[in-house]
Amino acid sequence: MEFNAEFIRYLNAIRLEEEEIVQAIRFAIDAYDSGECHLMTGVLTTMQLFVAAPHKAKAIIFRLQALAVMMRNEELKNWVQADGVTIVPAAHKALISAVADHPLSLIDGDVSFEKESFLRRILEFAEPLGNQKS
């Protein structure tokens, strides 16, 4: 599939809530935990997203794919635990907020987050959390 600037504008115009991102991740975890292979986990997650939020499903899927690529490329290594897939608990909310909020970009023909601005956005969300007193 070939992507263009118009498609990126379409995806970025869809406003997402953090809970929608969390729900999509839960769908994937549930499918994986039930014994589904990686391919079926993606298919089942996509199907559940279309049922839960049909007008937002594409934006959620593309945002999670962009996040997965960054994790695979170790661009988020400071935010991910040694297993390579678990988010550092203190950073979880900031990362989810950035995924829901940060604009997608077209980079080398793929839908992605621009690395430096995305990392800055995580820090913007994390900073207020770090300043809170218990």
- Over residues 58-112, the pLDDT tens digits come to 999 999 999 988 988 888 888 887 777 777 777 889 999 999 999 999 999 899 9
Average predicted confidence (pLDDT) for the chain: 85
| % of the chain beyond a pLDDT of 70 | 88
pLDDT for 38 equals 67
Query: Nearest-5° angle of CA 99, CA 128, CA 11?
Result: 20
pTM of the predicted structure, to 2 decimals = 0.82
> Containing domain of residue 81, as a range?
5-130
Please report, for the chain, how many H helices and E strands are present, in that order: 6, 2
The total number of structural domains that make up the chain: 1
pLDDT for 88 equals 79
